[in-house]
Chain A
Amino acid sequence: MIDDVRGRSVAVLGLLAVWWFVGGTVAAGLPTPPAVAVAFGDALTDPSFAESAATSAARVYVSFAVAAALAIPIGLFAGWHGPFADLTMPAVELLRPVPPIAWVPAVILLLPGTEPGIVFITFLGAFFPILLNALEGARGVDREYAKAARSLGADAPATVYHVALPGAMPSIATGLYVGMGLAWINLVAAEMLAGGTGLGYVTWSAYTGGSYPYIVVGMLSIGILGVLSSAAVRQLDRWLVPWSHGVGT
């Protein structure tokens, strides 16, 4: 453990050194570490910055929750019941290759106001990975378990709930983790584009406004929030799938 701390410190110091060097020589516009540190201090005490962070976080979590609530059942059914997959997945596969961010203009035209648009884009980002992973997960469940359940008296919905869902859980957990990451990526892009509020917008306007150190502050804040979200999903994974975290697995 001590070694890890040492390794990390060396790595971070090395990064700061390289950053400082690049800023001092090749790239004159790059804000220096001390300037960023000062800006960070300012931001931490600035209530509007906290508000932006809260706005971004709220958008991500709400979109993520809705995406999961929709994608998991649909994916589960599609993976469990072939014809249902044939009926739904082709349409999904047509829409999937379009990056959510490319939807922004269309969505702004279609939905009233920018907020629903941003939330929808973030939702889209999380939706597809969760859906696909739920589908794969359900597909991979050994059908022998279903037969066992039926022979014990379970009807179709009970089988889905007690066999398909737990069986697909590990895969769903992975999907949630990936989905959270993509939700953040798309949120930031949408905020930069459609703007108004949020960390993405703050980062972009720091650029257009010329206060360059705040760009880095914005980036770091996004990164930190992203890490916290992923860690939260990891915890959720541990809670949802206790049986695959045991000894010897």
Chain B
Amino acid sequence: MSVRERRGVLVDTITDAGTALESVPRPLLRLTSVLGLFVVWWAFVRVGVLGFGFFVSPVEALSAVGSHLFGEPVADGETIHLHAGYTAGRVFAGTALAVAVAVPLGLAIGVSELLERYLYPVVELLRPIPPIAWVPLALVTFPTTRAGVLFVVFLGAFFPTLVNAARGVAAVDVEYRRAAASLGASDGQILRHVLLPSALPAILTGVSIGIGIGWITVVAAEMITGRFGLGHVIFQAYRLVDVESVVVGMIAVGVLGWLSTAAVARIGSFATPWLDGGELR
């Protein structure tokens, strides 16, 4: 067979496979995906690929999650719930603080050319430094480790929120502002009734990104500075080669991270009811 013919046969085979998949019900495919992941994991542990021989199997991991959920203490004697509370608390506190500062500041920068010119360059200068890189400096500057970690989490959520708020406001179509002015609205009223709602979707995107970075930062910071928190749990477990707890920690972080992202999305939908309305055109 020529190259062309061989390619043709290969393409046909793939296309046929693709078409065949189309007739498989979607939930089944998705289930296969999830199960497939666990099967591959289990196989790797069984066969001992790389370091997997010392790793936990899916079953062990899940049962460990279960038992810790019901109160079995982790390495340092505390429950996973306590540590999760610390970590989640830091993320929420840091993010809430970041939003409280970044949104008004971002709006102000978006509206005021003066601020944009003289303040925004500072943002652009500091933004590229990954929040985690601030940890050492924060530890040196702040009186307690806790304050330092909180500051770093705050930073992680701060920049995306600020940038998105500023950009969101700047992108508001000038004709909406004009419409409001021609209806008799003052500048302050325009800010509240036009600029803020219009920029809300962008702000929410910023917060969503911010929370994501906040989670990454908090876990890393806890691993490095550790005393309480899921990051610390994972690192301690690693030190003690308690592979089970490492995985439990990872799963806990993943679940909580997912929940917080979903929560932000929910809040976002609730705050912007005009966006998911069905078009009746």
Does A50 reach chain B (CB closer than 8 Å)?
no
Chain A stretch 13-61: residues in CB contact (< 8 A) with chain B: 14-15, 22, 27, 29-31
Q: Is the CB of B33 within 8 A of A87?
A: yes
In the assembled complex, which residues on chain B have CB atoms less than 8 Å from the CB atom of A100? 216
Q: How far, in whole Å, are A203 and B230 apart by their CA atoms in the complex?
A: 24
Binding stretch for chain A, among B51-59, B99-107, B176-184, B186-194:
B51-59
The reply to whether B250 and A3 contact each other, CB–CB distance below 8 Å, is no
Interface string of A182-203 (1 = CB under 8 A from B): 0011101100110000001001
- A106 in contact with B247 given A10-B118, A84-B21, A185-B130 (CB within 8 Å): yes
A148 proximal to B (CB < 8 A): no
- Residues of B contacting A30 with CB < 8 Å? 137, 140-141
Q: Tell whether B139 is near chain A: CB-to-CB under 8 Å.
A: yes
Whole-angstrom distance between the Cβ of A110 and the nearest chain B Cβ: 4
B136/A102 in contact, CB under 8 A: no
Establish whether residues B129 and A219, one from each chain, have CB atoms under 8 Å apart when the complex forms. Answer: yes
The 8 Å CB contact of B238, one of A11, A31, A105, A155, is: A105
Report B107 CB to chain A, min CB distance, Å: 19
* A12→B237 contact, CB < 8 A: no
Interface majority SS (helix, strand, loop, mixed), chain A: helix
Known A-B contacts A98-B257, A192-B220; A90 and B34 likewise in contact (beta carbons under 8 Å): yes
A226 adjacent to B129 (CB under 8 Å):
yes
Interchain CB contact under 8 A, B34 and A227: no
Q: Which of A99, A185, A203 sits near B257, CB closer than 8 Å?
A: A99
Known interface pairs A105-B235, A109-B238, A112-B50; A215-B257 also in contact (CB < 8 Å) = no
Q: Which of B11, B118, B249 contacts A102 (CB 8 A)?
A: B249
Name the contact of A86 in the complex, choosing from B33, B131, B213, B223 (C-beta under 8 A).
B33
Q: Which chain A residues in 84-100 approach chain B with CB under 8 Å? A: 84, 86-91, 94-95, 97-100
Q: Measured between alpha carbons, how far is A105 from B235 in the docked complex, in Å?
A: 7
B30 at the interface (CB under 8 A from A): yes
Closest to B44 in A: A110
CB of A206 within 8 A of chain B? yes
CB neighbours (8 Å) of A10 from chain B are 118
Q: Is B6 an interface residue (CB 8 A)?
A: no
Is A101 a contact partner of B117 (Cβ separation < 8 A)?
no
A102 contacts which chain B residues (CB < 8 A)?
A: 219, 230-231, 234, 249-250, 253-254
Q: Name the contact of A156 in the complex, choosing from B14, B22, B135, B223 (C-beta under 8 A).
A: B14
Total residue contacts A-B, CB cutoff 8 A: 202
B162 at interface, CB cutoff 8 A:
no
Asked if B129 contacts A186 (CB within 8 A), the reply is no
Contacts of A31 in B (CB 8 A): 140
**Any chain B CB within 8 A of the CB of A207?**
yes
Partner of A98, one of B24, B213, B250: B250
A134 contacts chain B at the CB level, 8 A cutoff: no
Do A88 and B33 have beta carbons less than 8 Å apart?
Answer: yes
Residues of A close to B132: CB separation below 8 A: 101, 185, 188-189, 192, 200
Residues of B within 8 A of A137 (CB): none
Q: Scoring B residues 55 to 75 as 1 if CB is less than 8 Å from chain A, else 0, what string do you get?
A: 100000000000000000000
Look across to chain B and name the residue whose beta carbon is closest to the beta carbon of A103.
Answer: B250
- Complex: chain B residue closest to A225, CB-CB: B128
For the complex of A and B, the 9 pairs showing the least CB-CB separation, nearest first, are A105-B238, A207-B136, A7-B117, A83-B21, A86-B29, A11-B121, A98-B254, A189-B220, A97-B258
B interface, CB within 8 angstroms of A: 8, 11, 14-15, 18, 21-22, 24, 26, 29-34, 36-37, 50-52, 54-55, 117-122, 125-126, 128-137, 139-142, 213, 215-217, 219-220, 223-224, 230-231, 234-235, 237-238, 241, 243, 246-247, 249-251, 253-255, 257-258, 261
